[in-house]
Amino acid sequence: MTKLCDFRTEKVREAGATSNAACEQWKAAKPARRHIKGLLEQMAPGRIRCMYCLDSRGTDIDHFEPKTRTPLRTFCWDNHLLACSHCNSNEKRDLFPCDPETGACMLIDPTVDDPADHLKLLPKTGELKWRTAKGQHSIKVFGLNRDELRKGRADACDMFISGLVRWHDQVRRGKAEAATRTAVRLRRSDFPEVLRTLEGLAGTPLASALEDRYFPDALYAWVVSLDHRGAIPPMRTGFAAAPFSARS
């Protein structure tokens, strides 16, 4: 893939490094696009979810920094994210707000930033709150609080609570195989940022405020089991995950 991308980048350079040249080379680079998308799908959260909304299936390769802005980054691996058609074409498009004084990008870049530093998720309502200016711009540009996402995250919260309680009951009853299947389903579920947020509540009074009296013990046992197994490799980079993991 590296050779294919380097070849196309050189073609963009030879054509004057214009946005038109970048778009033409991207359109013509079917083998490179196929390889890039395949790698992004392997890294995608849940069932090949969009890395911005984590709700819809990722179908498009989005250029985080638009081709029209930096044509020579068109084939740069760190500039590619898997997105659904709605996030890519209806929300982000070619938007790329920058600080007027420093020129620094004002969007969360999941390849270098930890989105949890910039965003806070309210699991019961599904709403994302911004902690920083980057978080504020990202919520607006990516449409992260549109109705279907807020409702989806809130529903996911209820699902994760009941699922963790069920997992804990299976563990306590010695049903190891059933508990393993439940754990795998939970880790593969959509809106993984909701689960990560709930994990951060383990051992705190906030866990008791989520209406299910069995949940605090189940959550604590879940987090302890994660610690005992060691770090679980990320299934994929998800932009809206909390905390977020940068792509390597």
Give the DSSP letter string of 140-206.
Answer: HHHTTT-HHHHHHHHHHHHHHHHHHHHHHHHHHTT-HHHHHHHHHHHHHSS-HHHHHHHHTTTTSGG
Q: Are residues 83 and 161 in the same domain?
A: no
Number of domains, the chain: 2
Distances (CA, A) of 220 to 58, 60, 113, 163: 32, 38, 28, 14
Lowest mean pLDDT among 31-35, 68-72, 109-113, 243-247: 243-247
Task: Please provide the average confidence, as pLDDT, over all residues in the chain.
Answer: 88
pLDDT > 70 in the chain, percent: 91
Count of alpha carbons within 13 Å of 178, Cβ hemisphere only? 13
Q: Are the C-beta atoms of 37 and 61 separated by less than 8 Å? A: yes
Contacts of 187 (CB under 8 A, 6+ apart): 195, 232, 235
Q: What is the mean pLDDT of residues 33-45?
A: 90
178-235 pLDDT tens trace? 999 999 999 988 888 899 999 999 999 988 887 789 999 999 999 999 876 543 333 3
Q: Which domain holds residue 72?
A: 1-95
Q: Sorting pLDDT into bands at 50, 70 and 90, what band is 9?
A: very high
Per-residue confidence (pLDDT) for residue 3, from 0 to 100: 84
Domain membership flag for residue 144:
no
65-105 pLDDT tens trace? 999 999 999 999 999 999 999 999 999 999 999 999 999 99
Residue after which a domain boundary falls, among 52, 69, 95: 95
What burial class does residue 14 get, using C-beta atoms within 10 Å of its C-beta: 0-12 exposed, 13-18 middle, 19+ buried?
exposed
Q: Are residues 161 and 81 in the same domain?
A: no
Q: Are residues 88 and 158 in the same domain?
A: no
Question: CA nearest 238: which of 78, 39, 81?
Answer: 81
Q: Are residues 158 and 68 in the same domain?
A: no
Domain membership flag for residue 114:
no
Instruction: 129-134: list long-range contacts, CB under 8 Å, 24+ apart.
Output: 133/106, 134/106, 134/107, 134/108
194-206 pLDDT tens trace? 999 999 999 999 8
Domain membership flag for residue 132:
no
Q: How far is it, in rounded angstroms, from Cα 32 to Cα 27?
A: 10
Residue 80's H or E segment, with its range, is: strand 80-83
Q: How far is it, in rounded angstroms, from Cα 213 to Cα 197?
A: 18
Domain membership flag for residue 135:
no
Domain membership flag for residue 111:
no
**Which structure tokens are listed for 82?**
């898997």
Domain membership flag for residue 26:
yes
Q: Please tell me the pTM assigned to this model.
A: 0.81
